[in-house]
Structure formats: structure tokens, C-alpha cells
Amino acid sequence: MKTFFLLLLLHIAAAAAVHVKFFNVVHYGAISGGKSDNVKAFLRAWKEACEFSGESRFWVPKGTFLLGPVSFNGPCNGTAIFVVKGVLNAPTDKRSRLKDTWIGFRYVDYLTVKGGGLFDGQGDSAWRHNDCHRNSHCRALPTTLRLDFVRNSSLENIRSFNSKSSHINLFACEHITISRIHLQAPETSPNTDGIRIGTSNNIRISDSKIGTGDDCISMVSGARRVSIRNVVCGPGHGISVGSLGRSHEHEYVQGIHVNNCTFVGTDNGVRIKTWAPSLYSVASNMKFENIVVKNARNPIFIDQNYCPHSRCDGQSSSAVQIRDVMFRNIRGVSRSEIAVKLQCSEALPCKNVRLMNIDLAYDGPGGNSRSECLNVIGSSAGKMLPPPCL
């Protein structure tokens, strides 16, 4: 007992020894009202916060602040907590639209972004300039929040509305926790993925609500050990692995776990998508379980003929190997008659795909829900509606 209290006192003493300092952007010249660009003031505040050796609180108070494209770079000397209480408005001019990022964090460890504030991407000023649906070499519009080479960090209790492109993009990140966030854009907004994860490891997403015009969450090349739970998705294109095979040949996807999520009115539920033709790659060790589907068009979907631009070679096969996939305890209502669609590569058939306890009814004319399998090696068990094709 004495040892316990001694350890407790040491913990309290250590916590008390951490020096906390606030860096309020207003004290560095930031002006609310949404008309003056505050990049210089924000960077002055960040420079001092990042140099501080204790716990820095970068503070955006209540109010509306216009903020142009900006990158907050590390490494920092201490722990950085980026607190947004007010509203950050993205610019709407043409020059800022040519950037690929609105707000970026690079090479920062032990970063927390929180505060309950709003990142307003002002996407309705830019979506009409997105021509990616007809131009495969299109220029991407700015992502709202981009994390590059960030480790041991978290995003929590923030809101992002109307991003011009993706709301959150993770690249080369490790040990990131994302929780209690709300991402929102109209169903018709192009390429507004909620969270996009690439070349990143140990990512945890939980207790969030995402409704967009693209994937609620997408895991692309190099995404490893990603856990997604208690996420409500809709509208949008579902939670997707991919698309894979177009680039990053040796960056495989593995260790994906999607658990206890709900899809409301989405184009897809859980989906794995690869290009055909494609470079060689592997996607393995993926588990999708305890899923509720409410009027989604493709509740369970493996698509190895993914080609959104309709200009692909329909005779070629995908060279992405999909293996060790579990779909378990997935129930609800499908908007399409084919509720389980597993369309794998002829060149590299999917291996060890398991269906267990699937209960997906079809809500529409033409009969009951059906399964469709192509080039799949796997098995099914438990209650199965529609009847299994494995």
C-alpha cells in the first residue's frame, strides 16, 4: 500500500512539474471577423509554441478567422496542443485553390488538435472547378487538414465542413488517434473523402460521424494496422480499402479492422477496390464485423475492376492479391438486389474470403437479395441472407 501511494505522489509531482503556457493567436495579431488573412499571426504563435519546452497550448478563441494555406512544421521542443474554439474559414480565391493543402502539420510528434471548433473549407466556391470525373490528370483541390510525418498524436472533438477535397489526409504517420469528430459535405460534392490514410501505421478512428460526397474513410497504399469502430457513415461511398494498384507498387495494405459501424444511405458499405489493369500489390488480413446497413446500395463489395472514369481496358485483370478477409455479423437493408458482390481478379483470385452471419434483405422490386461471386476462394458459415455464393 505504501508503494502505491508513493508512486501516486510521484505521478502527481511529475504532472505538476509540466509547465503549461498558452499562445493565443489574438495576442500575435490575429483578427476575427473573417476578412483579414491571419497566416502571419498564426505562424508567429506557432513558432513560439513549438519552441516552448513544456506543454504549449496554441489557442484559437471563439470568433471567425480567415486563414490562408499554411503549414505548421516541427519538430517541436515539447508537447503541442492546437486548440480551436472558434471557426477557421478557408480562402476562396483562385491562387489558394491551386494549393493541395489548406492546413498542414509536418514532422510533429505528440500533437493534439482539439477544441470543438469548426474548420470550414468553403468548398462550394471550388467544387465546380473539379474536373476529375472526366480528367484523369486533374489537379487536386486543397485538403482541409493534412498530417505528414506526424507521430504519437491525436485529433479529437473537431468539426470539418465543406472541404474542397479530402477533409483529413494522413501520410507517413504513426500512432494516430482520431475520435469524436464530425466531417460533413454534400452528397454531390466531388472527391470530399472524410479521412484518407496512406503509408501510415497504427491508426485508430472511433466514435465519429462522417457524411461526404466520396468515401467516408479510405485506406490506400501502405495503410497498416488501422482500427475503425463506432463510426456512422452517410451519405458517401462507404468505408473503402483502395483504390489500389495504380501506384506505390510495394506498399501493401494489411491489418484493417472495421467494427461496429453504421452505414446510412451510402453508395457502398464496406468495400475493397483495385484497378484493372494494375501494378502488383497485396491487401491482406482485413476484418469487417458487427456492421449495420441502412439502405446502402452495395453493402459488401469487392471490386477488382474499379474504373471510375470509364476509360479502362476491360480485358485486363487486376494484379492486386486480396487475401484473408472476413465479413462477419453484417445486417440490414440493401438498396440493390445484389447485396454481396465479390468480383475478384481472374489473374489473382481472392483467397481465404470468409462470410459469416450475414443478414441483408433487399428493399426493392424484383425479388430477394442475392450474392454474386467471381474468382473467389473462400467459405461461408452461420445464417446467410442472401444465400452464399461461396
Catalytic residue among 37, 182, 193, 237: 237
Considering only CA atoms, which of 252, 288, 254, 256 is closest in space to residue 270? 288
Residue 237 appears among annotated catalytic residues: yes
Catalytic residue among 214, 215, 267, 303: 214
Sequence-distant (≥ 6) Cβ neighbours of residue 136 within 8 angstroms: 309, 311
Cα three-residue angle 110-114-117, rounded to 5 degrees: 155
Q: Give the span between the Cα atoms of 82 and 186, in whole angstroms.
A: 27
Q: Which three cell numbers stand for residue 345?
A: 481478379
Active site (catalytic) residues: 214, 237
